[in-house]
Amino acid sequence: MENEISEIKVLSDKENYKNIQSKSNLINFVSLQIIYIILIIYLIILKQISENKYEEKTNELIKELVKSNENKNKNLSEKINLLRLMTNNNKFEYEGIQKCLMNDSDRQFCIYHLISPKSVLNKKKILLGGKRDGSYVILDDFSNIKIAYSFGIGKKVQFDKELADRGIDVYMYDHTINSLPFENKKFHWKKIGISGVDSMNNTLKKLESIIVDNGHANEDNMILKIDIEHNEWEALNEVKEGILEHFKYIIMEYHFKDEKDFDNKNIYYNVLKKIHSTHQVFYLTCNGRHLKKANFGNNRICRNLEVSYIIKKGNIFIKDTTIYPMYEFEFSGPKLDKLEENLNILKLFDD
């Protein structure tokens, strides 16, 4: 009897264990399902939050772009209004410049931004050569300068003399004269002109050839002055960019002709872009003798433009607050209305 009772009890315990195990499995299953559902809900919420953040960020970027465009349009409008004011609402003066300002794709073919002046930090402009034609503006910084090249001499060598007075050897070239107005121990003159090619009779040479002939191929911090009555374009168009980096200063008088008189319509842009790649304009003025405007394509500018550059490397440039023209630097003589030669319009390209 006792054995039967024991067997019944064992069976009962097994059944209870099975029930308990079954309940435990059910609880575990339900728990897993709940965890799975919670996890899915969490992932959905996380995704929604992420999408909301992405949407918020996208909206912020859109707002910033819209605001940026609004500011750009406002800035452009202000520049155009200023341009018209500066040019006395003269359509001949402003329409080409306005087109360059408005159309970025066209601006890359526009010369104005390539000659927009900037000031050089902690360096002062000075005039060499007296207040007359043949004088040029440079910075009062002649450190490490021992050599200058001067192309286009004529009868005016005062600028060259003032360089010589500072201990600088001036290598002077002009094939249109037979002698210098006067001699100086620092003057080194040759009856040779600068050109884009070396001529067979050696009366014209490339800038590179002349530098090599003088043993200056490895010299830096030199000065280059060119005033050769429109021939500068051909000569500089053929110069390799690396050659220009040998010069701390480049002093130019650009002579612009009407486009119909000039076969290569892109040469102005090509030359100005080349120099701008290594040098920055810090001064410019219309030559007071030739204020008649030249018309080439969409660009209008002084027919003769005097420009002073300094090498970009090693210098810091800031916004130019100079009022152009700087009359104290102009040669003595009658002055035209400032609106006729107001070159502050070029600062509209100083972004």
Q: Give which of 196, 198, 341 is closest to 271, Cα–Cα.
A: 196
Q: Is the pLDDT of residue 331 over 50?
A: no
Mean pLDDT computed over 49-70: 64
pLDDT digits (tens, 9 = 90+) for 117-151: 999 999 999 989 876 667 899 999 999 999 999 99
Least confident of 55-59, 117-121, 340-344, 346-350: 55-59
Least confident of 97-106, 111-120, 186-195, 206-215: 97-106
pLDDT-based confidence at 199, cuts 50/70/90?
A: confident
3-class SS shares of the chain: helix, strand, coil, % to 5: 45, 20, 35
DSSP 8-state symbol, 202 = S
Q: Is the pLDDT of residue 210 over 90?
A: yes
Q: Give which of 195, 213, 214 is closest to 205, Cα–Cα.
A: 195
The amino acid at residue 185 is K
Residue pair 299/110 in contact (Cβ under 8 Å)? The answer is yes
Least confident of 32-46, 60-74, 208-222, 270-284: 60-74
Per-residue pLDDT, 347:
87
The pTM score is: 0.76
The amino acid at residue 183 is E
Per-residue pLDDT, 336:
42
- 335 or 179: which leads in pLDDT: 179
pLDDT-based confidence at 32, cuts 50/70/90?
A: confident
Mean pLDDT computed over 344-351: 82
Least confident of 8-17, 73-82, 141-150: 8-17
The amino acid at residue 149 is Y
Q: Is the pLDDT of residue 56 over 90?
A: no
- 5 or 114: which leads in pLDDT: 114
Residue pair 132/331 in contact (Cβ under 8 Å)? The answer is yes
pLDDT-based confidence at 215, cuts 50/70/90?
A: very high
Q: Give which of 278, 229, 272, 182 is closest to 172, Cα–Cα.
A: 182
> Does residue 117 have a cis bond before it (omega within 30 degrees)?
no
Count CB atoms within 10 A of the CB of residue 35: 10
**Beta-strand runs (E) in 157-228:** 169-173, 187-190, 193-194, 204-205, 222-226
Residue pair 315/248 in contact (Cβ under 8 Å)? The answer is no
Per-residue pLDDT, 280:
96
pLDDT-based confidence at 304, cuts 50/70/90?
A: confident
**Cα distance between residue 222 and residue 213, in whole Å:** 15
- 83 or 92: which leads in pLDDT: 83
**Cα distance between residue 283 and residue 124, in whole Å:** 11
Which of the listed ranges 3-12, 85-94, 212-221 does the model predict with the highest average pLDDT? 212-221
Residue 198 burial (CB < 10 Å; 0-12/13-18/19+)? middle
- Report CA-CA distances (Å) from 295 to 94, 193, 258, 259: 12, 28, 5, 7
Identify the helix (H) or strand (E) that includes residue 70. helix 2-86
Per-residue pLDDT, 72:
78
- 316 or 346: which leads in pLDDT: 316
Mean pLDDT computed over 326-340: 50
Token representation of residue 56: 């918020």
Helix/strand/coil for 325: coil
Q: Give which of 125, 130, 164 is closest to 147, Cα–Cα.
A: 164
- Report CA-CA distances (Å) from 310 to 144, 313, 317: 14, 9, 10
- Report CA-CA distances (Å) from 174 to 22, 52, 311, 333, 335: 111, 73, 25, 27, 30
DSSP H helix total and E strand total for the chain = 8, 15
Contacts of 163 (CB under 8 A, 6+ apart): 128, 148, 150, 170, 186, 223
